[in-house]
Amino acid sequence: MKKGFFITFEGGDACGKSTQVKLFKEYVATRTDKDNFVFIREPGGTILGEKIRTLLLNFEDDSPVPKAELFLYLASRVQLFEKVIKPALSAGKIVVADRFYDSTIAYQGFAREIFSAKEILKLHKLLLGNFSPNLTFYLKIKPEIAFKRKKAGEKLDRMEKEDISFHQKVYDGYEYISKKEKKRFVVLDATKSIEEIHNQIILKVEKLLAE
């Protein structure tokens, strides 16, 4: 059984990631070792982080400028890393995160174009050291297809409200990372059925945990 393992879920908005994390959590709840898993999300996952999440996604009074946005995401991450991720991994737990630094590269790097992917990684290293997920499930889907699946009248957050060219750049960012991180990234075709994707995820995790 693997100990101290870090799994992340990534993808553009409306890719179905949160549905898959939820199903994976339900599957974990059926395992005898369920207490060995810790589920978190970004931004968020701590009291401070959840407040930052509200500021980033749903605070209508004053939108952060791109660099402020970047540092708010990073502030949430550092808090989560020090308070939850690091202690859990040290205790031998399996941490499952809904987003991590690949999101920052895709959204703030590629889409906002504040810093390059390399510069964002450098910043990440300054804050968290040489720390990276062991495995990342990337739900790949073109944004124009992903957004068609949104239900009419569904409320969009600040990032989801960005135009299609922004989301196309996010997609390009993930394509860049998945080519660079072939070993860590498991690319899942997010146009497939929810069940099919879920089964692929479980198969991969079960194989890994048995190693």
Residues 50-89 that bind ligand TMP (CB under 6 A): 73
Our finding on whether 10 is near ligand TMP (CB under 6 A) is no
Cβ proximity to ligand TMP: between 70 and 88 the closer is: 70
Cβ proximity to ligand TMP: between 21 and 89 the closer is: 21
Minimum distance, C-beta of residue 73 to ligand TMP, in the bound complex (Å): 4
Cβ proximity to ligand TMP: between 28 and 80 the closer is: 80
Instruction: For the chain, give the secondary structure using H, E and C.
Output: CCCCEEEEEECCCCCCHHHHHHHHHHHHCCCCCHHHEEEEECCCCCHHHHHHHHHHHHCCCCCCCHHHHHHHHHHHHHHHHHHHHHHHHHCCCEEEEECCHHHHHHHHHHHCCCCCHHHHHHHHHHHHCCCCCCEEEEEECCHHHHHHCCCCCCCCCCCCCCCHHHHHHHHHHHHHHHHHCCCCEEEEECCCCHHHHHHHHHHHHHHHHHC
Segment interacting with ligand TMP, rule: CB under 6 A, options 28-36, 95-103, 141-149, 199-207: 95-103
**Among the listed residues 93, 99, 167, 198, the single contact to ligand TMP using CB under 6 A:** 99
Cβ proximity to ligand TMP: between 111 and 135 the closer is: 111
Residues 14-43 that bind ligand TMP (CB under 6 A): 18, 41-43
Please state whether beta strands 37-41 and 5-10 pair in parallel, antiparallel, or not at all (unpaired): unpaired
**Among the listed residues 13, 38, 169, 205, the single contact to ligand TMP using CB under 6 A:** 13
Size of the site for ligand TMP (CB under 6 A): 13
Our finding on whether 174 is near ligand TMP (CB under 6 A) is no
Alpha-carbon span 166 to 87, nearest angstrom: 36
The one-letter amino acid code at 9 reads F
Site string for ligand TMP, 100-139 (x = CB under 6 A): ---xx--xx-------------------------------
By the criterion CB under 6 A, which residues form the site for ligand TMP? 13, 18, 41-43, 73, 98-99, 103-104, 107-108, 159
